[in-house]
Every structure is written in structure tokens, then in C-alpha cells.
Structure 1
Amino acid sequence: MINNKTRSQLKQEVKTVLRGNWGKAILLYLFILILLFLTGSYNSASNLMPNLANQNIFSSEIISLIISFITILIGLSANFRALDWLREPTLQFKPISSSFQLFKNPDWYRIIGIDIISTILVFLWSLLLIIPGIIKSLSYSQMYFIYKDLSDQGKAKDYSLIDYITQSRKLMNGHKMDYFILNLSFIGWFILAVITFGIGFIWLIPYYRMTMANFYRNLVDSQSQVI
């Protein structure tokens, strides 16, 4: 069994991979950066013109939903390639096309299904209190990576959509606080990215997301019996 690594170790491993490869990492996450910017601009426009937004509330919700699903697929495509990259630092890949790899997967709808089910479950838990909802969102945080690994092994169809959520919950047992604190450790970087008018996100998003992928990698390595 491999011991769980500290936050500093997880971050240092990512920095080592990124050293000399920042351009590739930025290109890998380029489209998610663009989508996040466009989504923020769209929401700002809706807030500035509420009357116009209210007149087209149905179409606005449909557009937001479609953008959300596209953002999920592009973001996860980049995250999945990042996980491969962390596992094999010398991996050769095309960062731009890697951002769309899930669109080539005939089972891409399963990702959307997993997202919808987990969102409903977190919402229901949040109806009790805010804290249970946060805890469950932490428990379910690894479900996409679990799907990726099982899909790579050709086992994805052997599991129902809820199974990925259940496996994530098992994997995160005893590690939710570690994940929560790891996320909190980036608050300073996010503040810095904001005060640089968003320019800092160009470097922060790859660094942050790859660190989260590295957290999963270490978690699976130390609990191989779960996945």
C-alpha cells in the first residue's frame, strides 16, 4: 500500500510535470478558460439586462444548460488527459484535441447522467442542512475520475451511474477533510488571479485542476482495492 502524500508533495509533483511544459498545460485548458470567461460574461449580461432575460427565461435556461454540459465535457476531457500525463510525465499528446476527447466517446451521455444524479443527491442532502450537502459533494468528488479509469479498463458498462458515486464515496472515506483543505490551500492563488483581472487564471486553472487529478491518483494508488 502506498502512503498518502501531503499537500506539498501533491503540488510539487504537479509543478515538476509543468516545469518547461506550461504552454502545453495552458493549451490543454484553453477552451475551458474561454468557456468560463464566456459564461461569466453571459451571466453578467443577464444581470445587467434583467428585463430582457426575463422575457426569454425559457430559452435562457436551455442555453445555460447546454453551455453547462459542454463545459463539463470539455473540462473533464482536459482533466482526464491531465491524469494520464501525471501518470506518465513523458506522455506525448495534442493538448487542443485532448480537450474534446469525451465528445468522441459514444458513452459521453453517461458523464452527463452521473452529473445530473450527483447534483440531485447533493441538492436533497442540502435541504436538510448546508453542511450535509457540502460533505456529500466532497464524497462524490472523485466519481468522474473513477468513470475514466473503469472506462479505460473496458469495465464502464458493468457499472450503473449510481455505482460511480458509490465508489467515490468509498474512496473518499476518511479523506474528505484532506480534499477540502487541499482546495482551501488555493484560495490565495484565486484571489491573486481575480485582482489581476482574471489573467492569473491562465496559469492557475491548469495548476489547480492537475493538483486535484493528482489527489485522485494518489488516493487510488493507496486504495487499489476500491477501484
Structure 2
Amino acid sequence: MMFKVLKDRAKDALREDFGAKLRLFLIPIFGGIISMNMTYRSNYNSNVDTVNNFDASAITTGLLLSLLLAMLIGFLIGALLSVIIDVITVGARFNYIKIYRGEHTSLRFKNVFSPFKDGSWIKIFVLHLVTSLLLVLLAVTVIGIPFAIYLGLGWSQKDYILFDQLESGTYNGIWGVLNASSQVMQGSRGDYFLFLLSFILWYILSGITLGLAKFWTTPYIEMSTIAYYQNLIASNRKTY
């Protein structure tokens, strides 16, 4: 199916009561904007301070330990916030799947926290952690990068597969989710890569506006990828 058709379907799914649908992704959007701006400012200030104020004689063991402790605390807080935002993002995707399928009767902001209420946040966390670790380990070596890309594209539907398995009661572990995602993506990895690439101008716009464009691009891209998934499983005519 042509990409334009899928994108038009996504727009149709978002058109009615867009404000309420946007609110479901507000936390991930604000998280992305804050992270983007903090990274930019941190890199800029770090470069300026390094050039203008570097004094090796001023570094003491106590200062070094304090800096390391501050970095560790910052890392732990950042990791915790990252996990929370990640789970909320998947919670928003679960709601978008229902919206796209016409199953949603209530568009409440609190719906994005449902994974914390029903306990599925643990499954989401483990699924994303294992996937990220495996892909990072593969990408460490140059020869492993093509395999990481191949697996990453194969596992790209994991959140949607997880939702369907949880809804149907067929969930049997993260490997069941990843295997099902790989199956549904058979023969479609290249096509899906091109589909994602078709949003490149939207990604550039988000970068130029320091994330402000995400208030439109995030709901649009998220709903479009769900439209792609729905088309995949409809073509396969198989329950995952």
C-alpha cells in the first residue's frame, strides 16, 4: 500500500478532537524538548568553559570525587526518568492503537499511566531493556551494525505486538513478542525503512524548531506507524 494512503488514514484518525489526542503524548513531547535543549546548552557551555576556564592545577581528589558522585546521581535520576517516560510513551501508543481501530470511547490523559496500574510496565521495561542492550552490543563492532539494523527493523513492531498479545491474553514472554514482530515484518523491513525515511523532513523541522514542531509531528508519525502495523497484520491475516 502506498505510504500516502497510510498517512492519510493517520490524519483521519487524528482529525476529530485532536487536542485530546495530542495530550496523550504531552509528557514524551515535553521530555524530548527538554532533553534536546539541555543537551544543546550543556554541550555549548561545556565547550566554552573548557576553553576559557580549564586549570589542571585546580583539580583535587575531593573535587574529582564530588564530580563523579554528581555525575552518578545525575545518571541514575536521568535513567529513572527515561524509564518512566518510555513506559508512558508506550501507554500513549496503546491508546493510539485503540483510537485508530475505533475502539476508544474515552480520551483521558490519565490513560497513558495505565501500564503502571495494570502492571504491564514491567513487561514494557524488560522488553525495551533487552532489545536496547542487544542492539547496542551488536552495534559496538562495525561488522555487527548491519545485523543490528536488520534486527532493529524486525523488532520495530514490538510495542504493537505486545499490546495485541496483552489484549488477547496470548503474551508468553518478551521473546514471543520479538519473534512475532520479526514474523510480521518478514519481507517488509526495507519497505518500513523507506516509510520511516519519508518522515525525514518532519524530523528536520523538529530539530530546527528545538522540538516545538513535535506537537504536530509526534502524534502524526506515531499514528502513521500504527497505520503501517495495522496494514501489515491485515495483509498477513494472522493474529499475533
Q: Does 1:64 align with 2:71?
A: no
- Aligned-pair CA distance for 1:226: 5.3
Taking the aligned partners of 1:17 and 1:53, their CA distance within structure 2 comes to 49
Q: Normalized against structure 1, the TM-score is what?
A: 0.88
Q: Does 1:131 align with 2:146?
A: yes
Number of aligned pairs?
220
- Aligned-pair CA distance for 1:42: 4.2
**Cα separation, partners in 2 of 1:218 and 1:137, compared to 1, 3 Å:** same
Tell me which residue corresponds to 2:236: 223
Q: Does 1:181 align with 2:177?
A: no
**Cα separation, partners in 2 of 1:53 and 1:194, compared to 1, 3 Å:** farther
Tell me which residue corresponds to 2:26: 30
Taking the aligned partners of 2:33 and 2:116, their CA distance within structure 1 comes to 21
Tell me which residue corresponds to 2:17: 21
CA contact (8 A) 2:21 2:107 kept: no
Query: 4+ residue stretches of structure 1 with deviation over 4 A?
Result: 49-55
CA contact (8 A) 1:167 1:226 kept: no
- Structure 2, unmatched stretches of 5+, are 51-63
Letter paired with 1:29: F
**Cα separation, partners in 2 of 1:178 and 1:21, compared to 1, 3 Å:** farther
Task: Note the aligned Cα RMSD (angstroms).
Answer: 2.2
Aligned partner of residue 123 in structure 1, secondary structure: helix
Q: After superposition, what is the alpha-carbon deviation per residue over 1:59-110, rounded to whole angstroms, capped at 9, x for unaligned?
A: 1221121121111111111111101110117x32224112212111223211
**Cα separation, partners in 2 of 1:43 and 1:19, compared to 1, 3 Å:** same
Letter paired with 1:9: V
Taking the aligned partners of 1:20 and 1:225, their CA distance within structure 2 comes to 30
CA contact (8 A) 1:53 1:60 kept: no
- Aligned-pair CA distance for 1:134: 1.4
- Aligned-pair CA distance for 1:124: 3.0
Taking the aligned partners of 1:204 and 1:59, their CA distance within structure 2 comes to 33
Taking the aligned partners of 1:194 and 1:103, their CA distance within structure 2 comes to 31
Percent of matched pairs sharing the same residue:
25
- Structure 1, unmatched stretches of 5+, are none
CA contact (8 A) 2:36 2:210 kept: no
